Chains A and B, each alone.
Chain A
Amino acid sequence: MSTALPNQQGVSVQVRGLRKSFNGHEVLQGLDFEVKPAEVFVIMGPSGSGKSVLLKHIIGLEEPDGGEILIDGQSIQSADVMSQYRLAMVFQSGALLNSLTVGENVGLYLTEHRLKPPDEIARIVAEKLEVVGLKGTEDKMPSELSGGMKKRAAIARALVIEPQLILYDEPTSELDPLSAVTIAEEIVHLHDRIQVTSLVVSHDRDLAFGVADRIAVLDEGRILTIGSPEEVKRHKDPKVQHFLNAHFERGHGPASKPER
């Protein structure tokens, strides 16, 4: 989020004792974990487990009630830390500005911070849109795009920042399986290309096991387990197993239930 755009590798993220309550309900109950530089770290968990709230804390959109978040060892609450690093977030809805064209959305960061001349911005926007498979959509309005295209446009907007840390909030929700695979490929491709630290929150098991270097499973504001995809699959916690193996068979109800 700084004004210069040098190429740098991903940053580390440390979350220590993070707590947050809304109206007396504790959404985050003292989270502790670390994301290593250039790692693809996936946080899984059922809806309402606090995943999106956690992302909003990391990007600085929410203030924690307790605990701290460190980026490359510096607290994000310290002055200027957030402007030292280039962080980007891909929102669940895409969060494209509906009053701007796709091209204006993607180039917004460069335009507003006056980092490049207009023709250079147009070139960068076209390049980033091509990277996410949306070549030639610069003049379309967000309302003309499908759900998957909006998310890819949002990824293109994040790419323009040349981020050191990119946060994805439910990147495959509301998408058909083919679009979900395209988004997963984008996440991996980006990571391989610019070595960005990627933090993905999702309840999509296929996405998580497909892209993650490590996975954390979150439930009711607590982390149940952290490990490689294989370690998480083997974890004995009944809640983890229930979340990972839940499926529906007609006439049988949910095939897996946690032991209480």
Chain B
Amino acid sequence: MFQNIGEMVILLWRTLLAMPVAWRQRQKVFEQFFEIGNASLLMVCILSFFIGGVIALQTGPVLVENGLSSAVGGVVGISICKELAPVMMSILIAGRIGSAMAAEIGSMRVYQEIDALRTMNISPIHYLVLPRVLAITVALPLLVIFAILVAWLGGGFVSMANNRIDIPFATFFTQLRRVVELKDVVNGVFKGFIFAWVIGVVSCHQGLITLGGPRGIGRSVTKAVVNSIVLIVILDYILTRVLLK
């Protein structure tokens, strides 16, 4: 485990060192960015809408029964933007995109394509890791912003449609605006930015250390997703502690 962590830190460092040549890889960054957006946008939309709805459904009736109906919009809004949107979207992207990264790089490793790159003096970090990490670093925070907006809509819709909450759509957003500040949204987007690096580096690392045939690729994919999610949850706690100050 410690060897893996060490290797990931080294990979992260080498990827950061490769940043000056990022412009040369812009075509691959755009391709990866499009891939992430194309693969995730619909899922993000559905997931966010229902997350917003379920949070409204869970908290709304309790707040209303205790005479706190004016807090529904604020509670739903802040829990989505500071916590649920960045964490849920990162977990979704770890499963959807992290797994694809680990599988693609792992398959290239198993079928000697990465060895072929090295013999041509082409760095796998420049060619494979940097474009993927950069693309996910841009894409995930944008997806988090999109998810926050859609989840708020979901929360507002359920608050309006559910008889036990029964708060008009406009009132929900008025309540939300009273509580949620721009820094809260920035807080969530910042978490998405950090989690993007986690998913990119963990998934690419697992791909690069893949051994064996198809079974090895399968193992790498599973490890990439599980390790990313575990790190996201741990880092979420640490970041929340730091950002609360």
| Chain A residues in the interface with B (C-beta under 8 A) | 1, 56, 59-61, 82-83, 87-89, 91-93, 95-99, 108-109, 112-114, 157, 161
Contact = CB atoms under 8 A, between A and B. Distances in A.
Given A97-B108, A109-B122, A89 B116 contact: yes
Nearest to B104: A99
Interface string B16-60: 000000001000000000000000000000000000000000000
7 contacts: A1-B120, A60-B119, A89-B115, A91-B115, A95-B112, A108-B120, A157-B116
Interface of B: 24, 104, 107-108, 111-113, 115-122, 127
Given A97-B108, A112-B127, A59 B113 contact: no
Contacts of B119: 1, 59-61, 87-89
B120 A161 contact: yes
Nearest to A1: B121
- Tell which of A56, A60, A61, A82 has the most Cβ of chain B within 10 Å: A61
Contacts of B104: 99
B120 A91 contact: no
**Chain B binding surface, main DSSP class:** helix
A93 B115 contact: no
B112 A108 contact: no
Contacts of B117: 97
Contacts of A109: 120-122
Question: Which 5 pairs across A and B sit closest by C-beta, in order of nearness?
Answer: A95-B116, A95-B112, A1-B121, A109-B120, A89-B119
Interface centre among B113, B118, B122, B127 (most CB of A within 10 A): B113
B113 A61 contact: no
Contact of A61 (B107, B111, B118): B118
B118 A95 contact: no
A1 B116 CA distance: 12
B89 to A, nearest CB: 26
Contacts of B115: 56, 61, 89, 91, 95
A72 to B, nearest CB: 18
A45 B12 CA distance: 42
A96 B108 CA distance: 10
Nearest to B123: A112
B95 to A, nearest CB: 22
Contacts of A61: 115, 118-119
Nearest to B118: A61
Nearest to A56: B115
Contacts of B24: 114
A97 B113 contact: yes
A60 B120 CA distance: 11
A109 B119 CA distance: 10
Contact of B111 (A1, A82, A93, A114): A93
Contacts of B121: 1, 82-83, 109, 113
Nearest to B119: A89
A161 B113 CA distance: 17
A106 to B, nearest CB: 11
Nearest to B108: A97
A18 to B, nearest CB: 19
Contacts of A161: 120
Contacts of A99: 104
A109 B120 CA distance: 6
A98 B111 CA distance: 10
